[in-house]
Amino acid sequence: MVNFFIILVCLLIGYLFRFFKLADKDNYKIVNNWIIYVGLPAIALLHMPKIDWSVQYLFTALLPFFIFGLSYVFFRLIQPIFDFSSRTLTTLIIVSGLSNTSFVGFPLIISFFGVEQLKVGIVSDQATFFVLSSFGVFLATSFKPQRIKTVQKYKLIARRILSFPPFVAALFALCFQDVLRLISLDDFLGSLAATVSPLALFSIGLQLHFQRIGTEINAIGASLFYKLLLAPTFALLVATVMGWKGVFFQVSVFEMAMPSLVASSIVIQSFGLNAKLANTIIGLSILFGLALVFLWHSVIITLL
């Protein structure tokens, strides 16, 4: 419970910094750089060598692909009802189909399941990033005003994946896990990793804003419905039908109940999609997602 209040306090502090203009509008990028280049790699190096790999991790790794695919199907199906523009439709698929598995997910995993379950969150986060950098970028580049050649598209995808520090750290940890187990770096890496939760939440607080709520109510409502209710329900149904139970599967499904991925707005903005809509959805999904997290935790641990 203490950790949950820390989450709320860090979010609030970030928002108050923004509200009282104690930080410039782009200061969050400096915080994000620390998280991406130092904090998240430290988490990967700390926890990846300790993972006892099994076939179960396929479920964790494939869930983000499944949820993103369902997002594509869902918004394509409701497109005739709401008559979304191509630009808005693509934005909704991307921002609704990806979960905030690290910035919000990691602190909540620690709060509800314990720090030892971060190893599940790391796998989920790496898979989520891969979906964003591959299918997310591919979909964004297919938006008509921003079409680029196929070769350039695949080069862009490969560059994003191979240059992402947490991904590089995860690969390093996998290749040299025996060495990392022998070297006593837990205290050092643990100290760096501990900065991720408060700084990530502070950064999110800096970015919270709620523009366009009245003018885009249908799009926002559909996105929040899918991301916070439908997506985790489908993930839970898969695990329940397959008879998979235990804390491992609970954490895997729990990650799919997280708010929209903050990083998705970077891709959306880079390719001329509806960035203001995406940022509004991300902000609201964080608020509503935190409100629903107790409910989802209770449902998940009861059924799984």
Taking only the tens place, the pLDDT of each residue in 94-125 is 999 999 998 789 889 988 999 899 999 999 99
Domain coverage including residue 225? 2-303
> DSSP for 36-70?
IIIIHHHHHHHHGGG----THHHHHHHHHHHHHHH
What pLDDT is stored for residue 147 in this prediction? 56
The total domain count for the chain is 1
Give the C-alpha distances (Å, rounded to integers) separating 224 from 10, 196, 213, 257.
Answer: 23, 26, 12, 11
Instruction: Tell me the CA distances in angstroms from 207 to 12, 86, 123, 263, one per residue in order.
Output: 11, 26, 26, 12
List, in sequence order, every residue forming a beta bridge with 99; answer none if it has no partner. 260
- Between CA 45 and CA 145 the distance in angstroms is 40
The Cβ of residue 163 has, within 10 Å, a number of other Cβ atoms equal to: 10
Q: Is the pLDDT of residue 268 over 60?
A: yes
- What confidence tens digit (pLDDT) does each residue in 53-75 have? 889 999 999 999 999 999 999 99
* pLDDT greater at residue 6 or residue 125: 125
High-pLDDT (> 90) share of the chain, %:
44
Question: Could you tell me the pLDDT band of residue 200, with boundaries at 50, 70 and 90?
Answer: confident
Cα separation, 18 vs 124, whole angstroms: 30
pLDDT of residue 100: 92
Inter-helix orientation angle 105-113/247-255, to 10°: 150
Which residue would you say has higher pLDDT here, 196 or 293? 293
Its pTM stands at 0.86
Taking only Cα atoms into account, the Rg of the chain, rounded to an integer number of angstroms, comes to 19
Taking a C-beta distance cutoff of 8 angstroms, is the pair 17, 117 a contact? Answer: no
**Which of 195-204, 241-250, 282-291 bottoms out in mean pLDDT, i.e. has the lowest?**
195-204
For residues 77 and 241, the answer to whether their CB atoms sit within 8 Å is no
Task: Give the CATH number, domain containing residue 235.
Answer: 1.20.1530
Q: What band does 257 get if pLDDT is binned at 50, 70 and 90?
A: very high
Q: Give the integer Cα–Cα distance in Å for 71 and 153.
A: 22
End-to-end Cα distance, the chain: 22
* Per-residue pLDDT at 234 exceeds 70: yes
The reported pLDDT for the residue numbered 161 is 78
Nearest to 277 by CA among 225, 201, 214: 214
Work out the average pLDDT over 253-266. 90
